[in-house]
Chains A and B, each alone.
Chain A
Amino acid sequence: MTDLDIGRAWLVDPTVAREGPGEIVVRDGILEAVTWLEREEADGIDAGGVVVAPGFIDLHAHLREPGNEDAETVASGLAAAAHGGFTTVCAMPNTTPTLDEPGVLARIRTAAAASGSPVELLAHGAVSTGRDGETLAALGELADAGVVGFSDDGAPVRSASILRNALAYAGALGLPIVDHPEDPTLTDGAEANEGFVSTVLGLRGWPTAAEEAAVGRDLAILADVVRDVPGARLHLTHLSTAAALELVRRAKAAGLPVTCDVTPHHLALSDEWIAGARRFAWEAGEEGDPWRDDALVAAPYGSSLRVNPPLRTPADALACLAALADGTADAIATDHAPHTEVDKMVEFGEAANGISGIETALGLVLEAVDAGHLTLSRAIEALTAGPAAILGRRSRRNGSVGLVEGALADLVVFDRAERWMVSADRLASRGKNSPLIGLDLPGRVLVTIAGGQVAYEADLVTAR
């Protein structure tokens, strides 16, 4: 089993709202000692260097198995997760066949066991059979088999009536409905966020209203269901617009049992990137114009930037950061969506939606931290305690993600000062569809320990 000594690092434990200099000792996979150093002992240790945090939890990842193993397998997806610092991953059910009955869940669990990865694999089941949006999937059987929620992700739960029934039925099972909010009648053929950039580039507009109308629908239905089924819970995934987040903010204030997540790409990147800009949302500012600002440094129409929901304006990205900061957004989820070259190396409008993002999530989030738009502790919380609270006891970590002495070690060690260049070779995912390839990101992961075992270690760790 695993032994690891990390002396003189910056520890972050969101469960006790504590961060500071410290040391950890792992023996035989158990987090044996967590020592918080006093000021005089901590000379030279700051939050800008090596950080030890609980292992990250991704509520939303597409592992593509079964059905599209050329894009990703459970094994390659878990390896990618570990490289990104994640020790728990929730697979989405839009596989082929759909994860709408326990057999498919058993199959991916077998694949996870065969991979030897210690990363915890969880899964969402489909809301509707075959994700057709018309008939309820085997929710109860799936719950018994251990799914952590239900989602027709890739698409919204199309029928309002099915959503209403699913919220009630799943609520009695103690599980959330995870909806991908999109009104498909407003996004037929859409290619990029509707606005200045899409207009200049001649891309079919994807209006923010498509997301906001769906969030409004979902919240209205939730308010209705929760009167009869107090256990009903709605989780809105990959929210991307300022107004959608504002709807959730108000719904939470009104006491509705709703949670939501935002993705690293929606909080850091913007639609400007499709025009060829490569600056972060906070560098562009709300009135940025990449043509005026001479910010166009790459070829336009990079198909790795095509994603659903689309990259929005810099103002929307800043709204995602503000929602994380004030707790409106509960979690950062990657929406890791690997694709093959065949599906991506084509014209922008014909490319598959999705970004391979589980390995670059930490880097993008740290860029936002470095720029002062998020505190390190809140960022770590949104990657750990936030999603853990949504999963509850469905994770083997049982809702507890702190640096707790005596517990099975589940942690990530990364160096904020060390930047690494994103390249196809360095991504463990089979999906090389990252718009960050060729760029360097802060926070190289040095070691990831999941369930007491090393899930990933950078070359240099053995030398330390």
Chain B
Amino acid sequence: MSAVIDDAATTDVVVPSVDVAPESQPVGWRHRHLLDVDGLTAIDLDLVMRTADAMREVLARPIAKVPALRGRNVTILFYEASTRTRVSFEVAAKNLSADVVNIAAATSSVTKGESLIDTIRTVEALGAQMLVIRHSVSGAPYLAAEVFSGSVLNGGDGWHAHPTQALLDLYTMRSRLDGGSVAGRKIVILGDVLHSRVARSNIWSLTAAGADLWLCGPPTLLRGFEAWAGRGAAAGRRFHVTSSVEDALRDADVVMALRIQRERMASGLLPSLREYAARYGLTAARLALAKPAALVMHPGPMNEGVEIAAEVAAGPQSVITDQVTNGVAIRMALLYLLAGVASTGSGASPAANASPAA
């Protein structure tokens, strides 16, 4: 699980025919839930990427819809305000012909007076077979997975993980970088790393894929990552942590800016947004330090003029709208793959081999 892999490795992945239901064919996917990316192997990543390729092809059709998940209930339970991720999951599920139930639980379970466990049991009793959950508390999807009998797909938990975002980021980089691989490429994640589940999931997937990963931001927003870098190095997961924007951006192949939030000022982590923009904002001048064809990414939503200049976000190097489109394809791929496991029950044991689903 911790071995460094080559993301461009040719593996014997059988790309499913996504026009038909996942249970009707052998699919080499063994995970019942997708809670984090730390447990995904090279073969898993390759299968997700190639299945996403197939989903991109579906999205290019005049009618971007396949009947693969017809009759299956996908419930989207969001405990945090979100538009783009929620809609992306909804579009993905509908493109697969699933029945979609959307639940926006704006407050935490404690404030609401009903525990998360009770909510999960209720949702399941209402017919949920696959659950997409977003929650402001790190680890909440693991609690959900303990009680939910179907598949749980983490749509983002606290500061911890955002696996579909990391996978769509990897997919976007592979499709845009020459050679189709991130191995050896200098990739910079710039901004509020401390509070970012996107950064954490990308650390797992990008270091696994052999990228030269740099985390950059004010020292108050990098707290703890030096400890991770030091410990991870022994496991072959090497990344750099720096507060020098120049060191980070020089000759970079990809620059991903992260959203900065106003409450960071209230908690004394930053003097002001103005100062942040001046010192760490991704401006055209700073981007010029990177390679000429460097990709510009952002998980959204953006504060233009703060962490990223509007001209950079909309500039020729930006692949931000690609990320959005790829997000739908990646989420279709993951829903499809998880549905195959959930319907056969072959994913109950994490140690089980990727045996063909009968």
Contact = CB atoms under 8 A, between A and B. Distances in A.
A100 interface: no
A345 B116 CA distance: 9
Interface string B154-175: 0001111100000000000000
Contacts of A301: 138-139, 142-143
Interface of B: 1-2, 38, 108-110, 115-117, 135, 137-140, 142-143, 145-146, 157-161, 197, 200, 223-225, 227-228, 230-232, 234-235
B137 A348 contact: yes
B137 A289 contact: no
A349 B235 contact: no
5 closest cross-chain pairs (CB), A and B? A301-B139, A202-B160, A202-B159, A199-B224, A292-B235
Contacts of A70: none
A347 B135 contact: yes
A196 B351 CA distance: 26
A203 interface: yes
A194 to B, nearest CB: 6
Contacts of B109: 346-347, 350
A292 B224 contact: no
A184 to B, nearest CB: 14
Nearest to B110: A350
A193 to B, nearest CB: 10
A300 interface: yes
Interface residues of A, number: 28
B116 A347 contact: yes
A292 B234 CA distance: 8
Nearest to A294: B1
B1 A287 contact: no
A198 B224 contact: yes
B139 A350 contact: no
Nearest to A313: B227
Contact of A289 (B38, B108, B140, B234): B234
Nearest to B139: A301
Interface string A194-206: 1110111111110
A349 B137 contact: yes
A384 B232 CA distance: 42
B261 to A, nearest CB: 15
A292 B2 CA distance: 6
Given A199-B225, A289-B235, A348 B139 contact: yes
Given A301-B142, A345-B117, A200 B200 contact: yes
Contact of B197 (A202, A291, A299): A202
Given A301-B142, A347-B116, A205 B137 contact: no
Contacts of B234: 287, 289, 292
A315 to B, nearest CB: 12
A342 interface: yes
Interface in A265-309: 287, 289, 291-292, 294, 299-301, 303
Contacts of A191: 138
B146 A299 contact: yes
